[in-house]
Amino acid sequence: MLEKSNRHLRLKNVHGKNVCVVREVYRREDIPCLSKLCLGQCNEQCPEGSSLLPENVTHYVIPDPQTAREYLEIFENPHIQGIIFTQTAVQSIQHGGSRRLYNRLKAVVKDRRKGSVIFHNEFQTYAHCEREPGEKQAQWHVRATYKAAEWYFNHLAASIPVVMVTDEDQFVYDFGHKTRNLFVVKLRDYLDGFWSEIIPGITDLFTSLQEVSVHKTKDTDYVGYLPLEILSKGIKCGKYQQGFLQVNKSNASQEAFIRRTKVDLTEDSGSDILIPGMAARNRAIHGDLVVVEILPKSQWQSRSNTISNPASEEKGDGDKAVSDRADTMPTGKIVGILQRNWREYVACFSQDEETGRGDKKAGKLLVIPWDYRIPKIRISTRQVDALRDHRIIVRIDSWEPDSTYPNGHFVRSLGKIGDLEAEVAAILVENDLRVPPFSEAQLNELPQDTTQNPWKMSEEEVSSRRDLRDSHLIFSIDPKGCEDVDDTLSVKRLDNGNLELGVHIADVTHFVAPNSLTDIEAQSRSTTVYLADRRYDMLPGVLSANLCSLVSGVDRYAVSVIWELSPSYEVVDVWYGRTVIRSQYKLFYELAQAMHEGIIDAEIVRNIPELHDLWGEELEIRLQGLREAIDELMAVARGLKARRVKSGALELESVEVQVQLSETKSIENLNPKQHLEIHDTIAECMIFANHWVAKKIAEMFPNQALLRHHPLPKDEQFGNLRSCASSRGFNIETSSNKQLAESLDRCVDANDPVVNKLLRSLATQAMSNAAYFCTGCLPRDQFFHYGLALDAYTHFTSPIRRYADVIVHRQLLEAVKKDRTISLPTCTQLEDLSQHINKKHRSSQYAQRESQELFQCLYFRGRGTEDENCIVDAVIFQLRTNGLFVFVPRYGIKGPVYLKSKDGQVLYVTATDEAEWTSGDVTKHDTYCVVDSTLGQQKYCLLQHITVKLSLQDSWAHASSLRLELLSNKPHKKPLTDMEDVAKQQKASIIQEVSSEAVEKRLQLESYDLGENFLQLKHKYGQSEDSMYHLFTSFKQTALNCDT
């Protein structure tokens, strides 16, 4: 039944004038409640995949329009679920608030983990509330909200308490206790009553938002910029350029660039645009999507060519193309903002009380963001004394045209500055990584596997799969102590003389249905995050460490790729599909390598628990069978690899350290990971599987397959590598991957093994990153993987720890099915998803690196200047007009060494080997630079060894870093017998030493603050730091070798 009425809206038109619009409203009885508790027919009308109010929360909450508008951030908290936003509230945000706020509200409703909905109360016959003549809007809003709350309460037959939140005292007084289990409360009381114990800091956030709302300014997001129409016209006709603002971390107040956004992926995006100074930046913040007007050529400037503090061009997302010329470049100013990309920022108050006071009159204080690229933010808080030595999270609310700093508010504290947990939390927040324990609702979707109630395979499921349990010898080879085995292998001779190779991967998608809560969570995380001392899983432990871990002796579901190969390793046939397997051996690398080398003795048998109950002839036969399989596998991999190398695959430098675990999971030892042929064997089989899966899905879904490509590097990016190589008389050929690989192989200095390693690492740095993409969005000739020399590649072999593999599994299984049942994501959806995954992968790599740097700094804290661990050999790999960039092989660290100070003094090393500051100048040439001083002239060449001193450059507001100071222009005199092993062991001992301290600290912390229950919970959800040493921690200088 429809009922018509008119709704009067007051809107602002484009010129800012108020206009009144009359809209016809049709009311219906069947506007759905969107609750899982509904006993009626509502849910028949729900669009598929949309959020529903959950059945397992303690109550539903309905904020009134004002509360929703001013405190939306509180309702964004992942803990608060079952929120009903009335249409009245949404419209109030849409028309009265800002675009950004409205988008955030939409994001809350879209996130199915939040179980929150928009209820179209004004269209609902029984829930709408007519505004009375002369009634104030605020009053009508409150009444309308109550009417909706009342409707819900009755519609759901009082089966769940409903809480309405408002700030109107009188209303709370009148209606607060009118109906049992239908509450009307003030937000402060609601938070105190329900959430303050569950969400630490939520009341602080409330207080801080309350202060913001008192000094509330209008939505000034886009004030002081050109109107949108003019901007879009300008962009269309080429007058303006659009792109993301990238602030130079080491020169944040002076230098920023616009990386132009590509209109289409194939088009060259053109060069960067320089935005010099804060005035030209016009209140844009790093990451914003902005519109730029390019200035006349006469006003173009050049980018700075010096190293400055923090000199970190080697890290972060700084520009990779290090142009070393002082040429001018397109220079512009910002005239408009298309999209604010503000996020939560880690910050702290100034250490210096006086300067930290800021604008006291207005009750406001300045905080310094951790990220150098973000300007100071003005916030108001009464808790400054309690928070003075804390890392806190702040958010920016506005940046008014006449203000030097943006305004923001305090969100929560991460803990005391310098405390390991606070510093790690800061790294996670800064990289936008959210890794809360898995929720109960997520865990409830997954099968249980307990001693009382062990998980079993279903017979029906088994009969639908190819059963390899009795027909194939399947085994896994991983690092020692590995718990989550996601890949296994098999190899056997066929009667026709051909060979059958099998790669069997955990069938994660059997357990994780598309759009389930577990799936949404995994997608949002996209990857397991490995930090230097801990790990955050992408999937709950019941899957990653149990049901999807292909350990030996148990039945497991798998997805297999099985090839029939000719004796010359040509693929004769390939089969893809779901299987049932039972791995017979869980081996580790060193063991498999030893067996291959013919060592079969008591020690080997002792390390294969699967053989412990056997002896005599049976043992002999089993050992022989296993050994033959390993030999065969290595031979196949050798053949496959030879073919790839022939077509130009690159071998790049990668240093890894492996953590060895004791029974109790504490670190027993950190072993430099010795490179064995068996590592290559396993990697090669995985690459082979990934390649063949890529071929299959790209063929079946030419426009919607998820692949991974590694683009051709740009030639100019090799400039520094070429200069370095030429300083030793080597020549680098970059015209193809094959030539690059071969020329790198030739760069060998028998007396200086660091040279080859360093050059390979520079080559890696010069490369673009490999990335996921959707096949419909890129021309076919750009699918290739440059580093691996393959025409198609994807990720299939690690669905436990990478979400891309989960998608690829679904696509592969769909591709081999006869009848299509599930609908795959569209091309656009898949492209968005691949961007998201790429972003999360990058973030987790940055976080990993930053956590390693944190540990390095903790290691050097408190070491005296005379400590022999602080004086090291370093190799020059880049020249600047005021210094050098060096590589320290012993610790694998790269950083700047200054030769010239800010006040123009230069460093001269005297005959007695002492570095002295004196007046002079530095001149930079192609492969060397010269210090001209009153004391004499000295030359520094690329790849020259020098001696530097390492010390901690402690920072209050930012991440601490290591300072490198020149001690001598000669190599450090230390026996260089086996440099690399020393380097690896040093790195290993850093983590070991620092983390044992940190673990102690943490244990104290937990026993004080968190209690035993928390420990148990963490353990149960597989996110305990106890499992942090799980697997191994690797220091990777390249992700290429490991792109399997």
Interacting residues with Zn ion (CB under 5 A): 33, 38, 40, 42
Residue 46 or 230: the one with the smaller Cβ distance to Zn ion is 46
What tokens does 705 get?
Answer: 């397959």
Are the CB atoms for 832 and 807 separated by under 8 Å? Answer: no
Residue 33 or 875: the one with the smaller Cβ distance to Zn ion is 33
The three-class DSSP label of residue 410 is strand
CA 290 to each of CA 225, 320, 455: distance values in angstroms, whole numbers, following the listed order: 10, 22, 54
In angstroms, what is the minimal distance from the CB of 114 to Zn ion? 19
In angstroms, what is the minimal distance from the CB of 39 to Zn ion? 7
- The amino acid occupying position 365 is L
The CB-side HSE value for 191 (13 A sphere, CA atoms) comes to 21
Q: What is the DSSP string of 676-696?
A: -HHHHHHHHHHHHHHHHHHHH
In angstroms, what is the minimal distance from the CB of 40 to Zn ion? 5
In angstroms, what is the minimal distance from the CB of 117 to Zn ion? 11
In angstroms, what is the minimal distance from the CB of 148 to Zn ion? 13
Residue 53 or 366: the one with the smaller Cβ distance to Zn ion is 53
918-922 own/partner pairs: CB under 8 Å, 24+ apart: 922/881, 922/882, 922/883
What tokens does 343 get?
Answer: 């996020």
**Residue 903: closest CA among 888, 886, 917, 924:** 917
What does the DSSP 8-state code read for residue 123?
G
Residue 38 or 721: the one with the smaller Cβ distance to Zn ion is 38
Residue 115 or 358: the one with the smaller Cβ distance to Zn ion is 115
Edge-to-edge order in the sheet of strand 60-63: 60-63, 162-165, 182-185
List Cβ neighbours of 1000 (8 Å cut-off, separation of 6 or more).
none
With tokens 């029939």, the residue in question is 564
With tokens 């290595």, the residue in question is 634
**Residue 870: closest CA among 986, 959, 970:** 986
List Cβ neighbours of 973 (8 Å cut-off, separation of 6 or more).
none
CA 685 to each of CA 500, 569, 631, 843: distance values in angstroms, whole numbers, following the listed order: 12, 12, 14, 28
Q: How far is CA 307 from the centre of its chain?
A: 28
In angstroms, what is the minimal distance from the CB of 254 to Zn ion? 59
Residue 83 or 587: the one with the smaller Cβ distance to Zn ion is 83
Residue 40 or 78: the one with the smaller Cβ distance to Zn ion is 40
Beta bridge partners of 475: 489, 585
**In the chain, how long is the greatest CA-to-CA distance?**
98
Residue 124 or 658: the one with the smaller Cβ distance to Zn ion is 124
Residue 162 or 886: the one with the smaller Cβ distance to Zn ion is 162
In angstroms, what is the minimal distance from the CB of 154 to Zn ion? 11
Extended beta strands in 458-546, E state = 466-467, 474-478, 487-493, 499-506, 529-530, 535-536
In angstroms, what is the minimal distance from the CB of 356 to Zn ion? 54
In angstroms, what is the minimal distance from the CB of 185 to Zn ion? 24
The three-class DSSP label of residue 281 is helix
Residue 39 or 494: the one with the smaller Cβ distance to Zn ion is 39
Q: How far apart are the first and last CA of the chain?
A: 59
In angstroms, what is the minimal distance from the CB of 574 to Zn ion? 51
Residue 162 or 424: the one with the smaller Cβ distance to Zn ion is 162
In angstroms, what is the minimal distance from the CB of 119 to Zn ion? 10
Q: How far apart are CA 420 and CA 408, in angstroms?
A: 26
Residue 125 or 232: the one with the smaller Cβ distance to Zn ion is 125
In angstroms, what is the minimal distance from the CB of 113 to Zn ion? 22
